[in-house]
Structure 1
Amino acid sequence: MQGVHDEVKRLDPLALASLTTGVVLCNEGFGPVSEAAEWVLGYPVYTHEFIVTATKDAIKQGILAQFPAMPTVLSTDWQTLAGQVRADFGDWVEVRRGTASRDQSPIESLAAIFREKANRE
């Protein structure tokens, strides 16, 4: 499991829940979700890397290590879930920065995605 820094940042819990459920719950769109992913991992995450299973799993594990009660499935409609997350966590949560390091460059991860897709076809 990845480590965490002592450095903390206030993030929207809807962004964190978006990452653990796979459904964007933020009214502001994907920006806060991307910011949260990068903070939780501790390094930049390129857009195409959000479909890489290992990246998604690392982000989810990093969030759940700090917030075990964060929802992991969309058990109702997204608006109701967003309301539940707000009620449970408030407007902001203090999130410790992750210390993970990348095992592939962004170009290598993109090439791996294309190879994986070609193998499925």
Structure 2
Amino acid sequence: MMKLLYYFPIILFFFGSCRSPTLKPENEQKIIEDIISFEMDDAQHSLRPAIVAWEFLKKNPSENEVLKYLGNPDSSWVDEYDKFKILYYYIPEYQDYNFIEIDLKSGNVSGFEWD
């Protein structure tokens, strides 16, 4: 009985303080706006929605068209066998990199991952 009286306040304190925070209406709208705005707004990138960029890349454009459309990448590298080049674009909203794979022989997009 004594142990129960000892543990009961600890259990009440634990369950009382472990509630999830409730969103205030003014914060809820800002959160929704942040989720909806998935366009790149960095100075290096065009203001293009992700789905439009995805549709563009699906057509396997040339590297020059990609650079003209999306701007200069944040980083790029060529694989050790000189078969393809990877262009990385950082998306601040996702805190993630999207990449485009360019075939060095043809100069066209051979693959991409664009969120």
TM-score, length-normalised on structure 1? 0.23
Q: Indicate the structure whose relative CO is greater, using CA pairs within 8 Å and at least 6 residues apart.
A: 1
Determine which structure has the larger helix proportion and give its number.
Answer: 1
TM-score, length-normalised on structure 2? 0.23
Larger radius of gyration: 2
